[in-house]
Amino acid sequence: MKSGMRMVHITQEARRFYDGGILPSDGDPGSPPNPEADPRILLERHTEDGAETFSLERRLAYRDRHLGELLVPAGREFRTDLTSVPALFTWLVPKTGAHLPAALLHDALVPDREGRSSYASSDGHDIDRVAADRIFRDAMADTGTGLIRRWIVWTAVTVATIFVGRKVAWSPTQQWAYRVAAGSTIVAITYLGYCATSDLADRSWPGAVALPWMGERVWWAELSSGLAGAIVIPLALSLLWGRLRAAGAIAGVMLAVLIHVTVALAVIAAGYLALERLARWSVLAVTLLAGGVVGAALIVFIVASSR
């Protein structure tokens, strides 16, 4: 099976995940995996350099369709942040849920910055990052993760593999070709989204050009045309991604459709972080600011209601 070429249907098989036994420790060999027992995810919370991470007290076992039994983690030094999702997108993919066992598996399979992974393959396989991404996608199906969510998550980790992936199954030339395709797609869609928004707002923003599919129509017609472009253009650009065109199509459409939502969430998040920093500096300043905002809102409300 060539990952990324086509939408491969995977039938859910929950029993592919099972208890991996107890991790070995000093003087204790631990216990072997038990395919008849349900997986037991026991997490211990750690705080390292201000970041929250977790270690696993027991191993998690997964029987992959192509590579056989995989046991994670390989040792107690393993750390995970659960599902690695930026805070802005946890509404779409939460940090935990049905997909958690698959996320823990993927975290252990993917090498860290020092090139260390934390898994044991009972059949002696050396797993590269591209294969780890495919295993993640299949494992999410086995946990009952929805079809759309697992392909979105697979796309996200594939894009990460393209740009920062170590230990990949591609030649340097091939990886750079993927990087150019992905980078070009992101830049093109972001710029076209900027132009479309300028057109929809009937404003001439710096650097924006008129898009032929938008035209000069009523707002709802322009909005419909813009949405059509947000689907058609990314699908065309995904052809640049070659064998990873499925990831290109999903990433492109998601970026085009959600770019405005993401910007709005980023503005709200930035405002919240600014208030938190201001509160650490001076509670009085935050109190005065809140009072000013409430006062201004009250004045606007009274003026607007009196008209």
pLDDT for position 89: 82
Compute CA distances 220 → 32, 174, 225, whole Å: 62, 42, 9
Distances from the Cα of 214 to the Cα of 8, 90, 113, 114, 190, angstroms: 35, 32, 45, 48, 16
| Residue-level pLDDT at 6 | 55
Q: Rounded to whole angstroms, how far apart are CA atoms 24 and 123?
A: 20
The answer to whether 64 and 101 are in contact (CB under 8 A) is no
Mean pLDDT of successive 10-residue segments in the chain (307 residues)?
A: 55 94 81 94 88 92 97 92 84 90 96 87 95 96 94 95 88 95 96 93 91 88 92 96 96 93 89 92 92 95 88
Contact 67, 1 (CB under 8 A): no
Per the CB < 8 A criterion, the answer to whether 130 and 56 are in contact is no
- With contact defined as beta carbons under 8 Å apart, do 73 and 61 qualify? no
